[in-house]
Amino acid sequence: MKGDDAIRGPGRLSRSRFTDVRHVKETGSTNTDVMELARQGEPEGVVLVADHQTAGRGRAGRTWTAPPGASLLCTILLRPPAPVAPLTTFALAVAASEAVEQLAGFAPALKWPNDLVVEDLDDEGAVRTRKLAGILAEAEWSPGSRVAAGYRPPAPHERATVAAGIGLNVAWPDEVPDDLADVVVAINHVSDARPTRDEVLDALLERLDVHYGHLVGGGVEQVLDDWRVRSATLGRRVRIDLGADDLIGTAVDVTADGHLVVEPLEGGRRTIAVGDVVHLRPA
């Protein structure tokens, strides 16, 4: 972390878990910092917020960049039961969408596996999907979840350490660079509301307290159902980049561990754990 030391302080709302909110002016990656805090023994619920990241990360090693002060950049330290750890991104995505809807009057849709998007028409009348937020959760698994003989699923009593990070575009300049105009969007581009980053953070943490509570309290299906309701991917014709080839079909559901179920053009069903999804126009 760079600049002033992180400042401890309670959030304005009476949340049961996420009251230890710490701010820094600049850092490389809030995910990296929070994972280090976890290794030092910090408890679940620490939230680290940065005005600017110099080495923000997205999925598959991509970078995440935003103008300084334009986006909410934060990571939350979670210690969920290991079997439900993969669904922390689902709980965070639903919470973020609800927070934006509450403050700005529109509901971002959820694109599998980890984006909040806004879908509208471009100047030529074609549907475009622009990214409002990206989520990256990085985990360290409980001792014993991997043994000499190979992988075994973690037991229900074991816990994972998760750094659940989100970058959410709040107030970008009105003129977005040409190479990003059809790719990213911010709250101020869609709504006349002008919530501050602190207001978005408070609303997000308030909603995350609810959905994460469902996740760790046995309400996994509730979290999945809330995600399904807001999904931009389910029911859509999609192309999934699997590296060696592409899979084209209709996204029909998500599994209990958050994998995407697709019905390919040739029939049958496939379950996808990891892949980049492109929403296609109806055939």
Per-residue pLDDT tens over the stretch 218-233:
999 999 999 999 999 9
Beta strands 47-53; 21-27: pairing state: parallel
pLDDT value at 203 more than 50 = yes
Partnered with residue 74 across adjacent β-strands are 49, 166
Length of the chain: 283
14: DSSP letter:
-
pTM: 0.88
What is the residue type of 44? E
Q: Return all residues near 110 (Cβ < 8 A) that are at least 6 apart.
A: 93, 94, 97, 116, 117, 227, 230, 231, 232, 233
Residue 149 pLDDT > 60, yes or no? no
Residue 118 has pLDDT above 50, yes or no: yes
Whether the per-residue pLDDT at 181 is higher than 80: the answer is: no
Judge contact between 276 and 134, C-beta under 8 A.
no
CA-to-CA distance for 156 and 166, rounded, in angstroms?
27
Q: What residue spans in the chain does CATH classification 2.30.30.100 cover?
A: 233-283
The amino acid occupying position 102 is Q
Domain 21-232 - what CATH class? alpha beta
Interval 87-96 mean pLDDT: 98
Residue 120 has a pLDDT of 82
pLDDT at 5: 43
Residue 49: pLDDT over 80:
yes
CA distance 57 to 7: 23
Residue 78 CB-density burial (10 A; 0-12 exposed, 13-18 middle, 19+ buried): buried
At 177 the three-state DSSP class reads: coil
pLDDT reading at 9 higher than 90: no
pLDDT of residue 4: 44
Q: Where in the chain is the domain with CATH 3.30.930.10?
A: 21-232
pLDDT > 80? residue 195: yes
Cα 273 to Cα 45, 136, 147: the distances in Å are 27, 15, 22
* Residue 216 one-letter amino acid: V
For residues 34 and 11, give the distance between their C-alpha atoms in angstroms, rounded to a whole number: 18
Report, as an integer, the average pLDDT of 111-134: 86
Per-residue pLDDT, averaged over 130-144, amounts to 85
Q: Where are the alpha helices (DSSP H) in the chain?
A: 30-39, 88-104, 187-190, 197-216, 220-229
Q: What is the DSSP letter of 251?
A: E
**d(Cα 137, Cα 46) in Å, to the nearest integer?**
15
Which CATH fold topology does 233-283 show? Answer: SH3 type barrels. (2.30.30)
Q: How far apart are CA 72 and CA 49, in angstroms?
A: 8
Retrieve residue 149's tokens. 């003989």
Question: Could you give the percent of the chain with pLDDT greater than 90?
Answer: 68
- Within a 10 A sphere around the Cβ of 123, how many other Cβ atoms? 7
Contacts of 91 (CB under 8 A, 6+ apart): 208, 211, 212, 214, 215, 223
